[in-house]
Amino acid sequence: MKMVRVMKIVSNDESQLRLLDELMRVFCSAKRYAFNRLLEGRNTKEIIKHLPHQFPLNKRYAEDAVLLAQSLITSQRELLPMRLEDVQAKIEKTVKKIDEYQYGRKTPKNIDLQTCLDGLHRRLEKLKSKEDELQRHLDQGTVPSVIFGGKQHFYKRLKGNITNEEWKDLRTNQLYARGDKSKKGNLNIRLVYDDNTYECYVEIANPLGQPKGKHAPRLRLPVSVPEKYEDEIINLVMGEQVGVNAKGKPMIQYQPYTVEIKRKNGEYYVHLIYEEEVYGRELTYDEPIQGERIAGIDINIDRIAVSIISKQGNFLQSKVFYCHELEYVRANKRNNIVGETVRDVYNWLLQENVGAVVIENIQLRQQHDTDKKFNRFTHHFKKKKLTDTIIRRGLRLGFRIKKVNPAYTSVIGRFKYMKKYGLSVHESAAFVIGRRGLGYNERLPKELIDTIKKKVKHH
């Protein structure tokens, strides 16, 4: 499982930071060059061979630049069908709104009817143009235009809201180096730990200042490591002794790690990426769960409901973990709340001797509307963040995790188990999810059959 740890460069050496900025500028230029050549259909090996002649980079930096360009093109192609589906959903919603306003089923609140309809028709025209563009890219196998530095900042630059220097900084704020087990974890960007000063440093190969026929000099910058990850990171970069050679010297085995350096608001952040060994695993849909106590989890934007059941499918206990602030806080605070809430969930499950978790397998889609506030509130990212964090932390702690179809779990729980066990809707839905993970099928409750007979009219 991939793990990412973020550290910060804490250096007052302006000369070294200027050299780092220049290296990032050249690397990002090489990445954009490789991206455009790949779109032209040029061969990857030819681009890698040509890049060190076009830009003063070593072969490994050139390979990394091409790798980033390839991944960008691949992701754009994979996202095309989803983007097209999202635009079509927006078109459907806008057409429905126009119909409701025209025939009087809805009335605008703050503006007159004609202004509202004109705005919706302009929106519809714009969306159909976008749909045609995406469909054309999908049919021709091409990708939409990519703006390095960000579309939002690009339009800010066009309006003169940011300077040319600020725009260039946004386009040249990345340096990337892949890990290599045979090169002490990473050849171009290496994290080192100084036993004398008890500090971590990042050493960056700088081919821009390389004398002819010699190795590239290295920039050495101190790094601030979060205290809770300090031991983990030091153990990773120091390597592990696996024996001694014929001369009696220790043989050190290093774990490969990838490093990405990003500049944001004048600060430099080091993203350390490596593979972590996990003790849990994800079960397939038809694989039985082995365990005496299983937890079903119902995930919502404002709360996580957990119900513990026995292997026979009987209810044992339940608990709700609230996270209401997720509805309105910013990204950094949101990530912190998600992490703390999921940590509390697993601490409780470990206390209750639960060894397996069942969650919903949700294919998330945006609930589009013409209201920006509504779109922001219903955006699926928050629920996706919760789901991913539950899976990652569960695997790290050794839990077995199974995903099930969430269809009608809330309806079944409300009619069948909510009154019986005195649960909330979400707790009863979590109970149904846990039973579904064990392979139990739910019969239609008599109460629901009676309700349908009384309240549903025959056509």
Among the four given CATH numbers 3.40.50.280, 3.30.420.10, 1.20.1250.20, 3.30.420.480, the one describing domain 281-451: 3.30.420.10
Residue 373 has pLDDT above 70, yes or no: no
Amino acid at 446: K
Q: What is the spatial order of strands in the sheet that 400-404 belongs to?
A: 281-283, 400-404, 356-360, 293-299, 303-310, 315-322
Q: What is the pLDDT of residue 247?
A: 79
State how far Cα 194 lies from the chain centre. Answer: 33
Q: What is the pLDDT of residue 370?
A: 60
How many Å from the N-terminal Cα to the C-terminal Cα in the chain?
54
Question: Does an H or E element contain 189, and which?
Answer: strand 189-194
* 3-class secondary-structure state, position 317: strand
Q: What is the pLDDT of residue 207?
A: 93
- Pairing type for strands 179-180 and 267-275 reads unpaired
pLDDT band of residue 189 (cuts 50, 70, 90) is very high
Listed as own residue / partner, the contacts of 57-62 with beta carbons closer than 8 Å and 24 or more positions apart are 57/26, 57/27, 57/30, 57/207, 58/188, 58/205, 58/207, 58/210, 58/216, 60/177, 60/178, 60/187, 60/188, 61/27, 61/30, 61/177, 61/188, 61/207, 62/30
Distance CA 153, CA 66 (A): 24
pLDDT tens-digit readout, 308-340? 999 999 999 999 999 888 777 777 788 888 999
- CA-to-CA dists, residue 335 to 63, 174, 204, 206, 376, angstroms: 33, 23, 30, 34, 17
Q: What is the pLDDT of residue 363?
A: 66
* Residue 308 and residue 295 in contact, taking contact as beta carbons nearer than 8 Å: yes
DSSP string, 401-416: EEEE--TTHHHHHHHH
Q: Which of 135-144, 247-256, 407-416 has the highest mean pLDDT?
A: 135-144
- By C-alpha distance, which of 347, 342, 343, 359 is closest to 307? 359
What is the torsion angle, in degrees rounded to the nearest 10, for the CA atoms of residue 244, residue 249, residue 255 and residue 258?
-160
Name the CA radius of gyration of the chain, rounded: 27
Distance CA 42, CA 215 (A): 30
Hey, how many other C-beta atoms are within 10 angstroms of the C-beta on 176? 22
Q: What is the pLDDT of residue 106?
A: 87
- By C-alpha distance, which of 65, 69, 81, 61 is closest to 40? 69
> C-alpha angle with apex 361: 73 to 84, nearest 5 degrees?
35
Q: Which tokens hold the place of 377?
A: 């509130």
Q: What is the pLDDT of residue 371?
A: 64
Residue 275 phi/psi, 5° resolution? -90, 125
Distance CA 179, CA 294 (A): 38
Rounded to two decimals, what is the model's pTM? 0.83
Quick one: average pLDDT of 78-94?
91
Residue 59 has pLDDT above 60, yes or no: yes
Between residues 204 and 241, the one the model is more confident about: 204
Between residues 446 and 123, the one the model is more confident about: 123
Name the percent of the chain lying above pLDDT 90.
62
Per domain, the residue ranges of the chain are 2-9+173-275, 20-168, 281-451
Listed in sequence order, the residues at least 6 apart from 33 whose beta carbon sits closer than 8 Å to its beta carbon are 51, 54, 55, 65
pLDDT band of residue 364 (cuts 50, 70, 90) is low
pLDDT band of residue 383 (cuts 50, 70, 90) is confident
- CA-to-CA dists, residue 450 to 6, 171, 395, 446, angstroms: 57, 64, 43, 6
> C-alpha angle with apex 106: 104 to 107, nearest 5 degrees?
90
Distance CA 406, CA 383 (A): 14
Residue 155 phi/psi, 5° resolution? -70, -30
Q: Which tokens hold the place of 358?
A: 């069942």
Exposure on the CB side of residue 248, measured as CA atoms within 13 A:
0
- By C-alpha distance, which of 79, 127, 86 is closest to 365? 86
* Residue 288 and residue 439 in contact, taking contact as beta carbons nearer than 8 Å: yes
Classify residue 268 by burial, with Cβ atoms within 10 Å: 0-12, 13-18, 19+: buried
What is the torsion angle, in degrees rounded to the nearest 10, for the CA atoms of residue 143, residue 90, residue 326 and residue 355?
-70
Q: Which tokens hold the place of 314?
A: 């009987």
Quick one: average pLDDT of 182-188?
89
